[in-house]
Amino acid sequence: MISAVVVIADSVEEAHRLLLPEAWSYVYSRTRGEFPALTVPEEIERLEFTERERRLYDDALRDHIHGTEEQVADALEQLIARTGADEILVHTSTYDRRARLESHRRLARLFGLAAPETDSRAG
């Protein structure tokens, strides 16, 4: 079993943005000794980082699997091939709970664990 941070959104940029609150929380905890409440990406993007905070922030974002369904599926396949894992524990924390739920729904559909999305506009 391995563990991975996984986020699916409509674009790589949107998925990356969803990772920012958790990355900042990690930095804050390492530099101030406590975990803050997750905050909106816009606030994080306005922050000025010290050199140490920037290094920790970049490290916190490194190797997270994020993007569209296709990109995430490819990345997970590569991870499984590289590690030989037969189980993945997925972790996702973000300020936007709806986006996190949608990401999990998309991930479940990728692996056949949920009904395919239907287009309510059809018919």
Tens-digit pLDDT profile for residues 84-121: 999 999 989 899 999 999 999 999 999 888 766 655 44
90 in Cβ contact with 6 (< 8 Å)? yes
pLDDT tens digits, 17-67: 999 999 999 999 999 999 999 999 999 999 999 999 999 999 999 989 999
End-to-end CA distance of the chain: 43
Q: Pinpoint the alpha helices (H) of the chain.
A: 12-32, 41-45, 51-61, 69-83, 97-110
